[in-house]
Amino acid sequence: MQWQQASLWQNRDFEELSDQIFEKVGVRLSHTTLKRVWGKVSYSSFPSATTLNALVAFIGYKNWRTYRQQKLASHIAPEQVPIPAHPSVSAKKPNSKWWVLTGITIVLLCCISLLPIRQPSQLNFEALEFSFEKTTEDIPNTVVFHYEASNSNADSVFIQQSWNPALRHQVDKEGDTYTCTYYYPGYFRSKLVLNDQIALEKDLYIRSDGWLGTIDQQPLPHYFRQDRILKDSIVAIVPAFFEVNNIDILKDASSVRLTYVEDMGEVKSTNFELSTELRSTFGEGNAVCQITEVLILCSDGAFIIPLSVKGCVGELSLLVGEQELDGKNYDLSAFGVDFSNWVGLNVRVEEKAIAIYINGQKAYAGVFQEDIGKVVGFRYIFQAAGAIRKLELKSLDSSIRHQIL
Cβ-Cβ contacts under 8 Å for 153 (sequence gap 6 or more): 121, 123, 124, 125
pLDDT digits (tens, 9 = 90+) for 224-245: 999 999 999 999 999 888 888 8
Average pLDDT over residues 289-293: 94
Q: Which residue has the higher pLDDT, 108 or 397?
A: 397
Looking at the predicted structure, is the pLDDT value of residue 214 above 80? yes
Cβ-Cβ contacts under 8 Å for 105 (sequence gap 6 or more): 81, 83, 84
Q: Which residue has the higher pLDDT, 131 or 93?
A: 131
pLDDT digits (tens, 9 = 90+) for 181-213: 899 998 888 999 998 888 999 999 899 999 999
DSSP assignment of 30-96: -HHHHHHHTTSS---SPPPHHHHHHHHHHTT-S-HHHHHHHHHHT---GGGS--PPPPPP-SSPPPH
Instruction: Provide the CATH topology of domain 211-403.
Output: Jelly Rolls (2.60.120)
Q: How far, rounded to the nearest angstrom, does the alpha carbon of residue 181 sit from its chain's CA centroid?
A: 17
Sheet of 186-194: strand order equals 168-171, 157-160, 186-194, 197-206
Looking at the predicted structure, is the pLDDT value of residue 365 above 80? yes
Under the banding of pLDDT at 50, 70 and 90, the label for residue 171 is very high
Looking at the predicted structure, is the pLDDT value of residue 344 above 60? yes
Average pLDDT over residues 279-283: 94
| Class of domain 129-206 (CATH, top level) | mainly beta
> For the ranges 92-106, 152-166, 270-284, 333-347, which has the lowest average pLDDT?
92-106
- Give the per-residue pLDDT at 7: 64
**Measuring CA to CA, which residue among 145, 144, 125, 134 is closest to residue 198?**
125
pTM (2 d.p.): 0.69
